[in-house]
Amino acid sequence: MLNTFGTRALIKLELTRALRNKKFLFFSVLYPAVLFLIIAGNAGNAKIDGTGLTVATYMMVSMASFGALTAVLMGNSERIAKERESGWVRQLRLTPLPGRGYVLAKTASAAVVSLPSIVVVFLVAAAVKDVRLDAWQWLALTGIIWAGSLVFAALGVAIGYLASGDAVRPITMIVYFGLSILGGLWMPTTTFPRFLQDIAKWLPTHAYAALGRAIEESRAPHTTDIAVLAVYFVLFAGGAAWLYRKDTLKA
Amino acid sequence: MDDMTTTAVPAASTTEVVGFDQVTKTYGTVRAVDGLSLRLHPGETVALLGPNGAGKSTTLDLLLGLKQPDAGTVSVFGTGPREAIVAGRVGAMLQSGGLMDDVTVAELVKLSCSLHPRPYKAADVMARAGIAQIADRKVNKLSGGQAQRVRFALATAGDSDLIILDEPTTGMDVSARQAFWATMREQADQGRTVLFATHYLEEADAIADRVLVLHRGRLLADGTAAEIKARAGARRIAFDLEGAVDAAALRALPFLTGIDVSGQTVRIQSSDADATVHALYGLGLYPRNLEVAGLGLEQAFVAITEAEEAKQSC
């Protein structure tokens, strides 16, 4: 009871802080929608190769996934690394807050920011590019992209506990752009050379966006995509937990 | 003492705040804490004194469960450190403890209150720590002294029985320091046990009922400030002699722990000044300008650690 109360107080404060950070809000909430307009802006009703989706419909899922990825990955990895270094993580260990409460609060506050970043892309796509889907599809899309972002939240926590100081930003950037671009969030992987396509289909971002597209096409998602995402989640969450424990013993 | 042995409940479990039993912590080849045993009792205000690298920070980390001992046991209120913290019995500020960025002082103090099982009102906590005027300021815009006060507020956000302070007045000017210790005394007066590490020896002298001197991870001395001074040769005797000074005869004086002869002036450190002066007259000497003064804790401290170092180098 008490512990959840404390964790809730920390989530609230983390959230207040995230909402105060204009730069972070711009890049996670507005930037994906802006990028969507740039990429899909002049596209007509042509279909993307290998799918029955228009560029706008296709890119809507990509950019919503990209926005969620930004919100959960960028904020957490750097904050955690910095707060480990500044000693805030140590200070929290002198309180009754359970050790996991810190990670939980970080993940929860990131999830709260990632939701609007998904919804804003949907709103812009529907209003400006006339993307039309059934009500269940909108809801399922929001749900699946939001839930799937947990995979990358775990990755953000893992990087935060792995890297320190000056290293955390470049590592985060490489992972972030690497996953975004190679996973096909910025452009369909069908435009890639063959060897890159082979790499791309094993990336979590590729599987992540593929789940959303399956909903747009009103079909069941490929089991491979679900399996890929699940394996990455276990990997990232396990890695984060292991690094967290290592850090706790060392500090 | 006898009645303790007749009580059914072991005295240690009811009256002991902190217990270290043969605690050792090693980093590589360095023994940061070396077979340390100590007990803290309710209501004590204890200074942990020692030069840099003496093992103060490691001792506090072990006490707070941030580090695990390689050998020996650490107990806080009869349980492990983490259990005591979760029960809200310990409030602590560490030098290495950072603060959350981009939030206000008030928001941070409120968070600490929410985390404590028996919290005080945030407004009261801030008033007591002297940070009410900076409540709306961002935490990352504070001066060193202000940040220390915020840390103190976090350590005293609830009704804890043991307060741990690691070099709490670092970065404060003299008046801020005095105000801080007045605040801290209130904590002690409410019956709390306070343990603070410091390198300001006058603070240990003025504030602590008990001083623990740590050197190379071992407890060199444990007593009141007065006892520590006594241990190092508590009194300094200075006088002038006429004629030739017989240094050998002076060196044979009882209770003498140190001597320095320069020209006609003799300076002696003695663990029993009365006896030493009495024997001085007994030698038939007539000391002029005789002065007997107490040794400051700082000098006592230097004397104890030097004696220890000399012992180790033999």
Strand ranges of the sheet holding B71-76, from the earlier edge strand across to the other edge: B30-40, B18-27, B71-76
Please check whether residue A195 is in contact with residue A113, taking contact to mean a CB–CB distance below 8 angstroms.
no
pLDDT at residue B147 tops 70: yes
The better pLDDT of the pair B235, B68 is held by B68
Helix axes A99-128, A31-40, angle to 10 degrees: 30
For chain B, the average pLDDT equals 86
Question: Which residue, chain included where needed, has tokens 């006058």?
Answer: B202
Please check whether residue A97 is in contact with residue A4, taking contact to mean a CB–CB distance below 8 angstroms.
no
CA distance B178 to B174: 6
CA distance A117 to A62: 12
Q: What is the DSSP string of chain B?
A: -HHHHHSSS-HHHHH-SEEEEEEEEEETTEEEEEEEEEEE-TT-EEEEE--TTSSHHHHHHHHTTSS--SEEEEEETTB-HHHHHHTT-EEEE-TT----TTSBHHHHHHHHHHHSSSBPPHHHHHHHHT-GGGTTSBGGG--HHHHHHHHHHHHTSB--SEEEEESTTTT--HHHHHHHHHHHHHHHHTT-EEEEEES-HHHHHHH-SEEEEEETTEEEEEE-HHHHHHHTT-EEEEEE-SS---HHHHHTSTTEEEEEEETTEEEEEES-HHHHHHHHHHTT---EEEEEEEPPHHHHHHHHHHHHHHHHH-
Alpha carbon of A16: minimum distance to chain B alpha carbons (Å):
8
Nearest CB to A91: which of B68, B97, B114? B97
Backbone angles phi, psi at B134, to 5 degrees: -110, 20
* Percent of chain B topping pLDDT 90: 46
CA distance B132 to B129: 8
Within 13 Å and on the Cβ side, how many CA atoms surround A251?
Answer: 27
User: Among B115, B154, B167, which would you mutate to test the A interface (most chain A Cβ atoms within 10 Å of its Cβ)?
Assistant: B115
pLDDT at residue B118 tops 70: yes
pLDDT at residue B8 tops 70: no
Beta strands B256-262; B265-270: pairing state:
antiparallel
Alpha carbon of A69: minimum distance to chain B alpha carbons (Å):
23
| Minimum Cα–Cα distance from A251: chain B residue | B66
Give the amino acid at B300. A
pLDDT at residue B132 tops 60: yes
ipTM: 0.84
DSSP state of A202: T
Compute the Cα dihedral for A138, A67, A224, A108 and give only its sign. negative
- This prediction's pTM: 0.80
User: Among B60, B63, B93, B100, which would you mutate to test the A interface (most chain A Cβ atoms within 10 Å of its Cβ)?
Assistant: B100
CA distance B23 to B238: 43
What is the structure's pLDDT at B67?
92
Compute the Cα dihedral for A194, A195, A198, A199 and give only its sign. negative
Q: How confident is the model at residue B234 (pLDDT cuts 50, 70, 90)?
A: low
Partners of residue B168 in chain A, C-beta under 8 Å: none
Please check whether residue A43 is in contact with residue A141, taking contact to mean a CB–CB distance below 8 angstroms.
no
Give the mean model confidence (pLDDT) for residues B174-195: 88
Partners of residue A16 in chain B, C-beta under 8 Å: 103, 107
| Minimum Cα–Cα distance from B112: chain A residue | A95
Compute the Cα dihedral for B210, B215, B219, B221 and give only its sign. negative
Backbone angles phi, psi at B163, to 5 degrees: -115, 125
Partners of residue B100 in chain A, C-beta under 8 Å: 13, 17, 83, 88
Please check whether residue B39 is in contact with residue B19, taking contact to mean a CB–CB distance below 8 angstroms.
yes
What are the boundaries of each domain within chain A? Answer: 2-250
Top-tier CATH class for B234-294: alpha beta
Q: How confident is the model at residue B47 (pLDDT cuts 50, 70, 90)?
A: very high
What are the boundaries of each domain within chain B? Answer: 18-229, 234-294
Alpha carbon of A247: minimum distance to chain B alpha carbons (Å):
11
3-state secondary structure of A9: helix
Q: Dmax of chain A from CA atoms?
A: 59
Max avg pLDDT among A158-167, A206-215, B13-22, B247-256: A206-215
Alpha carbon of A84: minimum distance to chain B alpha carbons (Å):
9
Nearest CB to A88: which of B64, B99, B115? B99
Cβ neighbour number for residue B152 with a 10 Å cutoff:
25
Please check whether residue A189 is in contact with residue A199, taking contact to mean a CB–CB distance below 8 angstroms.
no
Please check whether residue B23 is in contact with residue B73, taking contact to mean a CB–CB distance below 8 angstroms.
yes
Tell me whether residues A10 and B115 touch, CB distance under 8 A. yes
Partners of residue B98 in chain A, C-beta under 8 Å: 83, 85-91
Helix axes A55-86, A99-128, angle to 10 degrees: 150
Residues of chain A with pLDDT under 70: 1-3, 251
Give the mean model confidence (pLDDT) for residues B33-56: 91
Alpha carbon of A119: minimum distance to chain B alpha carbons (Å):
27
pLDDT at residue B11 tops 60: no
What is the structure's pLDDT at B236?
84
Quickly name the fold that domain B18-229 has.
Answer: Rossmann fold (3.40.50)
What is the structure's pLDDT at B135?
96
CA distance B298 to B173: 20
What is the structure's pLDDT at B4?
41
What is the structure's pLDDT at B50?
84
Partners of residue A4 in chain B, C-beta under 8 Å: none
Q: Environment class of residue B36 by beta-carbon count within 10 Å: exposed (0-12), middle (13-18) or buried (19+)?
A: buried
